[in-house]
Amino acid sequence: MSENEIATKVIGCAIEVHRALGPGLLESTYQQCLFYKLKKEGLRVVKEKPIPLIFEEVQLECGYRIDLLVENKVVIELKSVDALHDLHMAQTITYLKLGNYKLGLLINFNVLLLKKGIRRIVNKL
């Protein structure tokens, strides 16, 4: 399954979760529900995937964690904030680079219409 096909399924599941719960809840609530929904769809999903930082040949465990990693290909960074900022984009880009992943989805559930809270981020490897 390609990154784009995975992203399409993730977005569909995220929309279902948002329709059921609406905005205004904690990020962890959306994470749990989306994790459940993606697993139910038959996708391989890892929650809170640790991602090390390599600096000058030294691997550092700095506590970075990807919210959801789907099919070991697509990084999902979840938020429940008033608005997405450049810092949120930078965080997702960093995870893509550190893990050598091509595609990430930054999803903010704290919006009235979820499609306005989704950012697709491509790592140009």
Reported as half-sphere exposure (CB side, CA atoms, 13 A), residue 17 has a value of 28
In angstroms, the CA 3 to CA 54 distance is 25
The dihedral sign for the CA sequence 55, 57, 58, 64: positive
Burial class (CB in 10 A: 0-12, 13-18, 19+), 73: middle
pTM recorded for the entire structure: 0.93
Instruction: Reply yes or no on whether the pLDDT at 52 is more than 90.
Output: no
pLDDT in tens, 30-50: 999 999 999 999 999 999 999
Instruction: Report the CATH number that the domain containing residue 100 is assigned in CATH.
Output: 3.40.1350
Q: What is the count of structural domains for the chain?
A: 1
Show the domain range for 96: 3-122
User: What is the model's pLDDT at position 77?
Assistant: 98
User: What is the model's pLDDT at position 124?
Assistant: 84
Answer yes or no: are the C-beta atoms of 99 and 51 closer than 8 Å. yes
Provide the 10 A C-beta neighbour count for residue 116. Answer: 9
